[in-house]
Amino acid sequence: MKVMGRWSVKTVDVRADGTGLSSRAGTSLLALLADRVGLADGLSDALEGTRERRSGHDPGRVFCDLAVMLADGGRCVSDLVALAGQSSLFGNVADDCSYRAFSALMSLSSSGCGPS
């Protein structure tokens, strides 16, 4: 069993006291759900062959972050700054260069030109 090391918050406490406000609380629930049901780990296992170096970002996590960004209304990779700016909700989000490299690698893999 893998340990969820990405999240500092394991539960969500909803209060109307005005502290710790975030317009992305619902979005963080989507990201937390992906981790809880094992989607991020499953994608990591499925995309393991695409990882170029061990010190790089986990491809399953990258894919989940992109999906969460799209669900939040993002339209381009640079919109990931909205998630990265709230690390207490979303943990460590890679920079947009990592996502562009991941996207290029996925395009090569689907065309049969990338690593298998």
What residue ranges do the domains of the chain occupy?
A: 25-110
Closest listed residue to residue 115, CA positions, set 43, 104, 15, 13:
104
- C-alpha neighbours within 13 Å on the C-beta side of residue 94: 20
Task: Please say whether the beta carbons of 96 and 62 come within 8 A.
Answer: no
Q: What 3-state class would DSSP assign to 52?
A: coil
User: How far apart are the C-alpha atoms of 103 and 44, rounded to whole Å?
Assistant: 15
User: Could you tell me how far CA 65 lies from the centroid of its own chain?
Assistant: 2
Per-residue pLDDT of the chain (116 residues; tens, 9 = 90+): 343 445 555 566 667 776 666 667 778 888 888 888 999 889 888 887 776 666 677 888 888 888 888 898 888 888 888 888 888 778 888 877 777 777 777 776 555 544 54
